Chains A and B, each alone.
Chain A
Amino acid sequence: MSGAATAVAAGRRASAGAFLREKSKDPNAIAYTAMLTAAVLFAPVAQFVTGGNGDYLVSQAADCGVYVLLAIGLNVVVGFAGLLDLGYAAFFAIGAYTYGMLASNQLVSSPIGHGIHIPFWIALFIAMFVAAGAGALLGAPTLRLRGDYLAIVTLGFGEIVPRFFRNLGTLTGGVNGISALDAPRLPFWLDGPWVGGGTLGVSTDFRFTSGNPTAFYVLMILLLLGCVLLVNNLFASRLGRAWMAVREDEVAAAAMGVNTVNIKLLAFGIGAAFSGFAGAFYGAKLAIVSPENFGFVVSVTILAMVVLGGMGNIPGAMIGAIVLYFVLFKFLPDAPQQAIGISKSLGLDFLVTPTPNWPGIGEEISRMKFLLFGLILVLIMLLRPQGLLPSQVRKDEFTRGTAADTVYDLETT
């Protein structure tokens, strides 16, 4: 009796060990563990390393989270369902503007006549539904187009939406956008060293402000956790398999009884829903939305993040977003100052001083950002087109089944 129990316990231990061993070889599991650890440790480490002045870094990490969220959403559309979307920033804009109009005094000067102030926690979901609705609305008539034509339609849509918001005048604040958006509020909040106060305690009526980026950071991490769980479940569901089937061969999928139109529409809507989340968070954190922030470059950046990370693989897209965010929004903006510092320490002061023919090394390097962005895109595709952390299916697409090597050899089987 007791012998059997020990055997079961041993078996359990063995299976737990086997589980860990198996997982330790799975790159996705490693990536998730690493990201979760980094997410938990980032804020305290940043504060510790900078001696308590790390708010700037934590705030930037929360902004990075917006891009991670966007990459997760675009990965559903491009990676899972294989629908090429070149205007994803449009849904991001729709989410942000929805929050902007529902949580500011903007509508006072519009024909509506009084401002609307819906709490962030509700507006977050309204923004999500509005963005998803916009995705379905654009998708419904256009999803029967294939491949490039769909890419062109989404590109056109992505160009229209920011211009539309810019031209709507008092409703959306025109060129200036909407400012003074409401901050999210909580009825109570745990005080502690992380707020800068130092003492433990409970305060009431807490407001998320730019002075306290840790709150936004924690909110972002929670949002991401929820979304990753959701997307993983979707991917493993019947819907996820249908997306893959449609991506690989639409005709065959339809023949197998997959309702391709609905499946694609759902991919479009769900993908857009994530950018609605991201948009509302972005608006609440910056407290301003402007039509300039949602151009084609944003769409391309998100797409590049997904491709860099590994299309169709959720942790891949997230890592791609983090890496590219660091390069584009941390490394490149800091590079001019670094270059000035290096030139000065090397005694090359003449490089720093601007002359009529030479704008100074700092300015010169900051002017290189478009060139470098383009080179990054080209090099990713030429050197590692399957991405940093590719899904198994996609890895096979690049390495096997190309002209010389067939995936399945018909003669031997």
Chain B
Amino acid sequence: MIASLARSRVGLRSFAGSRLGNYIAIALLLVVVAKAAVEIVHRGLPYFVQILAFGIADGAIYALVALGYTMVYGIIELINFAHGDVFTLGAFMSLAMLPAFGLTEGHGFGIGSALALLGVFLITMALCAAVNVAIERVAYRPLRNAPRLAPLITAIGMSSVLEGAMYLWRGPANLHYPNLIPNPTVALGAHVTVGLKDLLVIATALVLVVGLTMFIGRSKLGKAMRATAQDRDAAQMMGIDINLTIAATFVIGALLAGAGGIIYGLYFNNVDAFLGFTAGLIAFTAAVFGGIGNIPGAALGGLLIGMVRSFNDGYFASEWTEVLIFAILILVLVFRPSGLLGMQVPEK
């Protein structure tokens, strides 16, 4: 029996990496694309543009969250399960802050409101960063040299702690997030329109992602981060403060996640305490899809996952969307574990 298992196993391995396997995968992909194309032509251009804009906006939010996952994984090889809940925390904290800044639904949105909203953004992002650093200090740093399972379980535990704290704070009901941003449609041509909100979300996310990429690529701290991710011990010998660098990674991840939480609230107008769990898993899928540890990859993965979501919701069966996304996760890991943009690295 073992011998036959061995043979079948070898068969599977060579299938996954073989030309034939690739051809079959490509053929399947073509079938799916063809079916999608038929549906898209059938529904017409205006619907397509709406779905596309929604997909990109949705994907931009996932990209913001995915960046935090990918950075933390890149530097300490930990799946930070609590990250999705830091994203929810951003939405919850800003929701509590909005009335204090005079931002309520139904009033006009002028330059004053925009400045107030910017203030909410900055304070929420700072608070999220503080929470994330505290989590790292309390739950991850003491276990940095323990077996890998230990920090993974504390990460799941911290995720549950954050969810539980938000649940305790606001109760089990879904919360309405005020619809502050006016959403006139912008005409792109005859009958073809996109919402202003879609464009704003995309623009904000783009600014944050480009800013981060430049920061990691050009600044001294960014260089320290890359060095630490590559080889922690060697980086320490070069005089890099490892604890500071890792904490900085958590700060940046939380800044983006907190901003993502507010953007999510403003865009979907509905939040609950357990939002971050599934959203976090999907964002994590995006990070793996793009190549875990790779920053442009996480942004690209987020966009693609957002598109998969909106196109499957819009054209096919929405109840299968999450199954589809997690199936993508498994298939990517089986066929290309390094993701779309990741490099093949030898395992340590």
Contact = CB atoms under 8 A, between A and B. Distances in A.
B326 A381 contact: no
Interface stretch (B29-37, B59-67, B179-187, B329-337): B329-337
Given A140-B9, A303-B153, A381-B143, A374 B322 contact: no
Contacts of A84: 148-149, 152
B159 interface: yes
A374 B164 contact: yes
A408 to B, nearest CB: 19
A371 B285 CA distance: 26
B5 A262 contact: yes
A78 interface: yes
A307 B79 CA distance: 18
A296 B161 CA distance: 15
B292 to A, nearest CB: 9
B146 A398 contact: yes
A83 B159 CA distance: 22
A371 B149 contact: no
Interface in B140-187: 142-143, 145-154, 156-165, 167-168, 171-172
Interface string A395-410: 0011000110000000
Interface stretch (A111-119, A153-161, A229-237, A335-343): A153-161
A148 interface: yes
B152 A151 contact: yes
Contact of A259 (B6, B16, B139, B284): B6
B13 A385 contact: no
A322 B307 CA distance: 45
9 contacts: A84-B148, A149-B337, A151-B152, A159-B326, A261-B6, A296-B277, A371-B168, A378-B138, A385-B150
A129 B318 CA distance: 32
Contacts of A367: 167-168, 171-172
Nearest to A369: B164
B288 interface: yes
B167 A265 contact: no
Contact of A403 (B5, B139, B145, B147): B145
Contact of B150 (A156, A375, A376, A381): A381
B167 A370 contact: yes
Contacts of B77: 148
Interface in A147-179: 147-149, 151-153, 155-157, 159-160, 163-164, 166-167
Contacts of B156: 300, 374, 377
Nearest to B6: A262
A368 interface: yes
- Measured as residues with beta carbon below 8 angstroms from the partner, the interface class of chain B is 35 or more
Given A167-B320, A296-B277, A381-B153, 18 more contacts: A84-B149, A142-B330, A151-B79, A152-B329, A159-B326, A164-B323, A262-B9, A311-B149, A370-B161, A372-B164, A374-B157, A374-B159, A377-B154, A377-B156, A378-B154, A381-B150, A382-B139, A382-B154
Given A156-B329, A262-B6, A148 B79 contact: yes
A166 B318 CA distance: 13
Nearest to A359: B171
B164 A159 contact: no
A142 B79 contact: no
B154 A381 contact: yes
B323 A160 contact: yes
Interface in B1-54: 2, 5-6, 8-9, 12-13, 16
B231 interface: no
Contacts of B6: 259, 261-262
Interface string A327-365: 000000000000000000000000000000001000010
Central interface residue in B138, B147, B156, B281, by most chain A CB within 10 Å: B156
Nearest to A377: B157
Nearest to B156: A300
Given A144-B13, A370-B167, A153 B157 contact: no
Nearest to A138: B330
Nearest to B317: A167
B184 to A, nearest CB: 37
Contacts, number: 147
B347 A146 contact: yes
Contacts of B146: 381, 385, 398
A152 B281 CA distance: 10
Contacts of A155: 281
Interface of B: 2, 5-6, 8-9, 12-13, 16, 77, 79, 138-139, 142-143, 145-154, 156-165, 167-168, 171-172, 277, 281, 284-285, 288, 319-320, 322-323, 326-327, 329-330, 333-334, 337, 347
Contacts of B320: 167
Contacts of A265: 5, 9
A148 B148 contact: yes
A370 B160 contact: yes
B143 A262 contact: no
A304 interface: yes
A145 interface: yes
Top 6 A-B pairs, shortest CB-CB distance? A371-B164, A377-B157, A374-B160, A370-B164, A374-B161, A378-B157
A187 interface: no
Contacts of A300: 156
A9 B73 CA distance: 65
A153 B168 contact: no
Contacts of B333: 142, 145, 149, 152-153, 156
Contacts of B16: 141
A125 interface: no
Given A146-B347, A163-B322, A141 B334 contact: yes
Contacts of B168: 364, 367-368, 371
Contacts of B143: 381-382, 385
A373 interface: yes
Contacts of A375: 157, 161
Contacts of B5: 262, 265
A163 B320 CA distance: 8
Contacts of A153: 329-330, 333-334
Contacts of A166: 319
A229 to B, nearest CB: 22
A387 B145 CA distance: 17
A79 B208 CA distance: 42
A374 B163 contact: yes
B339 to A, nearest CB: 11
Contacts of A144: 13
Given A152-B288, A307-B149, A359-B171, A167 B161 contact: no
A371 B165 contact: yes
A150 to B, nearest CB: 9
